[in-house]
Amino acid sequence: MSEKIASTDYPIHELLAQRWSPYEFEDRPVSEADLCSLFEAARWAASSYNEQPWSYIIATKDNPKQFAKLLSCLVDANQIWAKNAPAIALGIVKLKFTHNNQDNRCAIHDLGLASANLVVEAMARGIYVHQMGGILPDKARDLFNIPDGFEAWTGMAIGYHGNAIALPDAMKERDSIPRQRKPLPQFVFSENWGNPSPLVQK
């Protein structure tokens, strides 16, 4: 399979340049040892007050019933392709701080920090993660008994990039086009909003 290295304006670490989110997954399991290391990587992320507001629910194809249950918590448009991944997961956030029961403004952000760590660890092992916002949080709450104060926020498909059977052509095509991003002067500012930092204009 062709891979999609980021076309960077400044050099970055290869694990960050190599990462992308495929729709096509190979029919090949991810080992239990690899999955443990992925979640271990998430574990060591930073978080506000070291709250560690993230939890994950994971299902692999080794257990078809549980896999189908978790898959049903994704929106239909994501089920179409995520069903080919050997492992799928939900990212769940605790919305209040444990130490004082006040709103944790950083909770959702910190789930992002943890999941990004997971993705880096995956890439170091040749494993791709396609994260999703398109999930059904209420259905996840019902099916997995997620308690009040916690909420499913993200989905992820985890596996090896490869040819997937019966994937719509539009998704195969999306996997083949180059990755695109705004250039740094559009989002790295100094002195005032919208003023490109002199750092990134050289």
Q: Which 112-151 residues touch a copy of itself, going by CB under 8 A?
A: 112-113, 115-117, 119-121, 124, 131, 133, 144-147, 150
How many other C-beta atoms are found inside a 10 Å radius of the C-beta of residue 137? 16
95 near a copy of itself (CB under 8 A): no
Taking Cα atoms as reference points, which of 162, 166, 165 lies closest to residue 175? 162
The answer to whether 44 and 117 are in contact (CB under 8 A) is yes
Give the three-class secondary structure for 130.
strand
| Min separation Cβ 148 and a copy of itself, Å | 11
Characterise 68 by phi-psi region: left (phi > 0), alpha (psi -120 to 50), beta (else).
Answer: alpha
110 near a copy of itself (CB under 8 A): yes
Token pair of 155 as six digits = 């989905």
The answer to whether 65 and 143 are in contact (CB under 8 A) is no
Nearest residue (CB) to a copy of itself, 38 versus 164: 38
Nearest residue (CB) to a copy of itself, 1 versus 40: 40
Q: Which of residues 2-61 bind a copy of itself (CB under 8 A)?
A: 6, 8-13, 15-17, 19-21, 32-33, 35-37, 39-41, 43-46, 48-50, 52, 54-60
Q: Which of residues 59-88 bind a copy of itself (CB under 8 A)?
A: 59-60, 63, 66
